[in-house]
Amino acid sequence: MFQNEDPHAAPPSHMEVSEEVRLGRAAFIEERIVLEGMQLNLSGHVATAVVRLRERARRVSSRSAGRNVEARRLHLAGDAAARALTELLPLGYAVLLTDVQVLATEAGEAVVAAVTLLAPDGELVLMGVARTDAGIAEAAVRAVLNAVNRRLAYVFADAPPTTTN
């Protein structure tokens, strides 16, 4: 038992525990990475996806280029998002796009992305999903963000501060 603890004190109430959870959730939401913009530029045989992300006051932009084939555009958008995320994450961490697919359901279309989060202590495969309301390419970016944003609290809590690249 710690020196300053009262052995007769009551355990924390449900309200106190809920408040701790709420405050922890607020800190988690603060760490989320936000999509600021996404462009898909098509020029002849080349397609270029450009993604701009923000985490607090830090902003990054990344691109991915490849063949201008409709089937590849989704992958280019997801890859640009993964590259931008890697720039925002602490040293030793990286995000790789594993797969990205359009999923049609009775409720509408969505994009599902599988990414691998590389960390100093191993790899973790994460899944994310986003509706295609704003377009399929943007949905690919949002699906990648959806996958990673759920794990950010753990990444930022355990990692040393980053330096800008």
Which of 132, 96, 100, 95 has the alpha carbon at shortest distance from 113? 100
State whether the Cα torsion 99-101-106-107 is positive or negative: positive
Q: Give the global pTM.
A: 0.75
Tokens found for residue 144: 């990648």
- pLDDT, tens digit, for every residue of 58-102? 999 999 999 999 889 999 999 999 999 999 988 999 999 999 999
Name the CATH superfamily for 37-158. Answer: Alpha-isopropylmalate synthase LeuA, regulatory domain (3.30.160.270)
**Given this model, what pLDDT does residue 51 score?**
98
- Given a cut of 80, is residue 31 above it in pLDDT? no
Amino acid (one-letter) located at 109? E
Average pLDDT across the chain, whole number: 82
In SS3 terms, 17-47 reads as HHHHHHHHHHHHHHCCCEEEEEEEEEECCEE
**Given this model, what pLDDT does residue 71 score?**
83
Cα–Cα distance measured from residue 148 to residue 28, given in angstroms and rounded to the nearest whole number: 12
CA within 13 Å, CB half, 70: 2
